[in-house]
Structure 1
Amino acid sequence: MAKLNHRLVSLGVVCALVILGLLIAVIVLATRKREGAKEDKQLTPHVSALSILQQYNVDDGLNITWYTNSTSIAREGVAGMLNVELTKEAGKFYSNGGQLELSNILDNLKPTDTGIKIKLETKFQNSTMALELVRELRRQKVKNPVIITLPVFSQTFKWQQFLSSEEVDNDIMISFDLTVKCCDTGIGRGTVEYVDILCNQADVKCFIEVDIRNLLKSWQDIKWLLNRNHNVLLIISDTSVINNESLYDSLTVRNDIDKNKVLYNFGETLKREFLHVASTAGSPLLYFDINPRDAGKIIWSHNTDTWEQINKATSGEAMMIEGDIMLLGQDTSNQTELPIMAHTVGDYNNMTFEQWLDEIIKVDKGMKFDFKSLDAVKPALRIVQRKRDKIKGPIWLNADILTGPNATHTRIPADDFLDAITQFPEATLSLGWTTVSKRTNYNLKYTMAMVQEMQNICKTLQQPITFPVRAEQLVDSWDEFNWLLKQSRRYTLTVWTSHTDNVTKSDMNYIKQQAEASRVYFDLPEQLRPTF
C-alpha cells in the first residue's frame, strides 16, 4: 500500500511538471507572437506634433517648411512636411494624377528628415481605405513623421471602425480636415467638441486643419479646443485665394496663442509674405519668448529721446523702446523734412530719428514710434522702409488720434494718420486719446462714448491694435476698456503714466487681476509694475 501511494505521488508530481511546462511554453509562444506582431506593426517610435518641432530643434511652427513635390524637398537640415494627395489604382496608392507610386514618394523621403501629410482623394475617403493606407505605411516601414488627413463629417467614414482598429496606434498622427465645404460658414463649438471626443478616443497627437479664410471667424472655438486638449495642434492651410485680410487673420491667431501650437501649411509665396508681416507686426510676447504669455513681463523704456537714454535702453534690460518724433523746426518757418527725437515743439536732443533707429537695430529690440506731429509720420516711415530688411523686432506706430477726457483736441486726426501709415503698414497700431492729469478732478475717466468711437475706427482695420491708456484713469474706466477688449482678439491695452500722476501699485495689481495676462502691457516705472 505504501509503495502504491508513493507511485501515485510521483505520478502526480510528474503530471504537474508536465502541465507547468506546457503552460510556460504557451506563455512564451504568446509573448513571442505579440512581440512579432508589434514588430510588424511598428511604423516609427511615437512622434508627437510637438516632437516634430523638437526633432528639428525649433520651437515655432512657422519654422516648418511645407512641400508639394517630393523631388524638391531639402535633403537635410530643413524642418519639412510633404503634402500628398493619394488615389488608388490597380491595388496601389499613387499621387493624385498617377505620377508617382507611394513607395517612390517614400523612397524620396528616406534620405531626409521630412515628414509626410497624406490626404486621400475624395472618392477614397472612407475608413476601410484609410486602414489600408495605414497597413501600407507599416509595410513600407516608414521612419519619417506621418500625418493622415481624414474627414470629420462623411457618410462613408466610420470613425468607430477606424479608431477601434489595432492598426491605429500612437505612431501615426491624425489631422481632422475642417477645410472642406462643411465648414465654409465657420467652425462652431459643436464641431470642435466632436473633434475633441474623437481625439480622446484615438489617444494620439491630433491636428485640426483649417482653411485660412475661415480662421478668424472660428477662432474663439478653435482656441477653446487648443487650450482644452493638449494633444491637438492647429494647421492653417492656404486652400483659397490669399489677400491681406487672410495674412492678418493668420497674424491675429499667431499673436494670440503659443507659437508651438500652430503650423502654417503655406506655399512659398504666402510664407514669404507672412514672415514679412509677422516679424514687425508680431507680438512682443512671441519675439521675446515670454512663456507663459504675460504682457506684464515686457519691460519698457519710455520717452527715450536723448543719447543718454537710448544708450541706457539699448544696453539694459528694456525690451521695447519708445521714442517721441517730430520734425526739425516743427511748426516754425524753418520746419524741415528731417524727423528728430523730440517730445514737444522746441525740443532739440541732438538726435535724428534715423540715428535712434540705427541704435535699436544694432541690438534687435522692439520699438515704438510715438508721433507728436502728423508731418513727421511719412518722412520717418520712409526711413523705416529703407531699413526694413535690417529690422528684426516688433514695431508699434503710436499717435493720439481722438480727444480724451477733458483734453485738448488731437493734432493728429485719425483718418490722416491711418492714411500716412500706409507708407509702412506692417506694424502694430497704437491708437490713443489726448489726455490730461486728474489732479483734483477725481471723476475724470474715459467714457463709453470714447471707446465706442475708437471701436468704430478700428473695427475695419487689419493690423494688431493696442490702446495706450493713462494709468490713473484706467481703474475707474475698466468697464469701458473691458468692453473694448471683447470686441476683437487683435486688441490689447498699454498702460502708461506721467511722473506727475497719482498712480499706485495696488491700482495696477487690480488691473492685472481683472485682465487676461496676455492683453495688458504696463509701460511703467519698475516701482509701479504689477506683481499680482
Structure 2
Amino acid sequence: MGLVRHKWYRFILCVTVIALFVCYLKLQTLSNSKVVGSMSEHTLEYFLNKGTIKRKDAADIEWYHAVNSKSKLIEALRGSAQMIEADVLLRGQDPKEPIMAHPPDNDSDITLQDWLKVVVKSGKGIKLDFKSLAAVSQSMILLEEVRDQLQGPVWINADVLPGPGGKATPLDPHVFLQEVAQRSENDVLSLGWTTGWDVDVDNRGYSWEMVHQMEELCRSLKQPVTFPVRAALIPVSFPQFQWLLERSDRYSLTVWTGKDDVLNVEDLLPYRQNFNKTRIYYDLLESQFKQFKGLPGYS
C-alpha cells in the first residue's frame, strides 16, 4: 500500500508541476502580447502624457516636413507639429558626413550631428528618412551619442521594397535592417515601398505579393513598424492592408500624399472606420486633412 501511495503522490506532484508550467507559459505569452501592443502605441503615449494630444488617435499627430536646413529647423521647433521629418544622406564632397538634404541636393547648411544637438532640447519626435545606405552607419552612431538626451519618439524611415509605380531603387532591406535594427530597439521602424503616381495612367494599388514580402521582412523584428503608404494608391488595397495589420499588433500605417497626387479623401474612410485609430497616422496636405476631418464618417 505504501508503494502505491508513493507512486500516486509522485503522479500528483508531476501533474501539478506541469500544470504550473503551462500556466506560466500562458502568462508569459499574455504579458508579451501586452508589451507588443503598447509598443505600437508608444508614440501616442508620449504625446498624450506631454499634453500635446488629448486622445489616443494617431490622426491627431501633426507633421513638419523636409526640415533639411537651419531655417526650416527653427520653424519646425517653433511650430505646433509633434513630429519633424528630415532627409539624411552623405555629403557629396569632403568631409563625407551625414547631412540633411533631399536628392538631387548633395550638400546642406546643417549636418545631422548639429541637427540632433538642437532637436534633443525640444521634446519633439523625429523621423529620419534615409535616401541612401551610405549615410546609415555613421548616422546611427551619431544617434547613439545623443540617445540618452532624446525625449521624443524616434522613427527611422527608408523605402526598402519596390511598390506600385515605383521607379527609384529601394534600399537593400537586409543591409538597412542590419545597420539599424540592433541600434534602435525602442525606435519605430518606418519601412516602405518605392511608389509612383501619374495622372495619365491607371495607377495600381499595393499587390498581395508586395504586402507578403513586407510581412516576411518584418516578422522577426522586435520594434514597432509603421508602413508608409501612398494615399492615392490605397483605396483599392484595403484587403491587403487589413491582412497586413492583422499579422501583428506592432504594425501600423502612415498614410501620406504627394503634392501633385489627385486624392479623393472619401476613399480613406474605410481605413478610418475599420481600423483601430491608434494604428493609422495621416500625413496629408493641410487642405486634404481639413476636408477629411469634415466628412460625416470621420469621427
Q: Give the structure-1-normalised TM-score.
A: 0.48
Q: Does the Cα contact within 8 Å between 1:367 and 1:393 map onto a contact in 2?
A: yes
Measured in 2, the distance between the counterparts of 1:501 and 1:335 equals 37
**In structure 2, how many angstroms separate the alpha carbons of the residues matched to 1:316 and 1:409?**
32
The alignment partner of 2:121 has SS state of helix
Aligned to 2:55: 292
Amino acid at match of 1:495: V
Structure 2 CA distance for aligned equivalents of residues 425 and 525 of structure 1: 29
Alignment of 1:125-524 (within 5 A): 180-186=20-26, 210-211=27-28, 214-216=30-32, 250=35, 252-255=36-39, 283-289=42-48, 290-329=53-92, 334=93, 336-408=95-167, 410-422=169-181, 424-426=183-185, 427-524=187-284
Query: In structure 1, what is the Cα distance between the partners aligned to 2:234 and 2:162?
Result: 16
Q: Following TM superposition, by how much is the alpha carbon of 1:182 offset from its aligned partner in structure 2, in angstroms?
A: 4.4
Per-residue CA distance 1:427-478 (angstroms, 9 max, x = gap): 1110000111132223421101000000011111111000000111011112
Question: 2:229 touches 2:254 (CA, 8 Å); kept in 1?
Answer: yes
Number of aligned residue pairs: 270
Aligned residue identity for 2:100: M
Structure 1 partner of 2:4: none
Query: Kindly tell me: are residues 503 and 356 of structure 1, through their superposed partners in 2, closer, same or farther at Cα, counting changes over 3 Å?
Result: farther
Instruction: Flag the 1:510–1:527 CA change in 2: closer, same or farther, 3 A.
Output: farther
How far 1:309 moved relative to its partner? 2.0
303 and 514 in structure 1: CA distance in 2 versus 1, 3 angstrom threshold: farther
Matches of 1:357 and 1:520, distance apart in 2: 27
1:58-69 map, 5 Å? none
How large is the Cα RMSD of the aligned pairs? 2.1
Higher gyration radius (CA): 1
Amino acid at match of 2:115: W
Aligned partner of 2:266: which letter?
A: S
Secondary structure of 1:408's aligned partner? coil
Q: Secondary structure at the match of 1:431?
A: strand
Aligned-pair CA distance for 1:423: 5.7
Q: Is this contact kept in 2: 1:369–1:396, CA < 8 A?
A: yes
Q: CA deviation at 1:421?
A: 0.8
Question: Is the alpha carbon distance of 1:407 and 1:284 closer, same or farther for their aligned partners in structure 2, counting shifts above 3 Å?
Answer: same
390-399 vs 406-415, greater mean Cα deviation: 406-415
Q: Deviation at 1:284?
A: 1.5
The answer as to whether partners of 2:170 and 2:193 remain within 8 angstroms in 1 is no
C-alpha distance in 2 between matches for 1:300 and 1:507:
21
Q: SS of 1:493's equivalent? A: strand
Q: Are the counterparts in 2 of residues 505 and 527 from structure 1 also a CA contact under 8 Å?
A: no
Letter of the structure 2 residue corresponding to residue 458 of structure 1? C
How big is the shift at 1:361? Answer: 1.3
Partner Cα separation in structure 2 for residue 480 and residue 358 of structure 1: 40
Question: Structure 1 unaligned runs (5+)?
Answer: 1-153, 155-178, 187-209, 220-249, 257-281
> Comparing both chains, which one has the higher relative contact order based on Cα–Cα distances under 8 Å and sequence gaps of 6 or more?
2
Identity %: 36
Matched-pair contact (CA < 8 Å) for 1:296–1:521:
yes
1:399-430 C-alpha deviation (Å, 9 max, x unpaired): 10001113125341000001111462221110
SS of aligned partner of 1:462? coil
SS of the equivalent of 1:389 reads coil
C-alpha deviation, 1:293, in angstroms: 1.4
Whichever residue aligns with residue 497 of structure 1, its letter is T
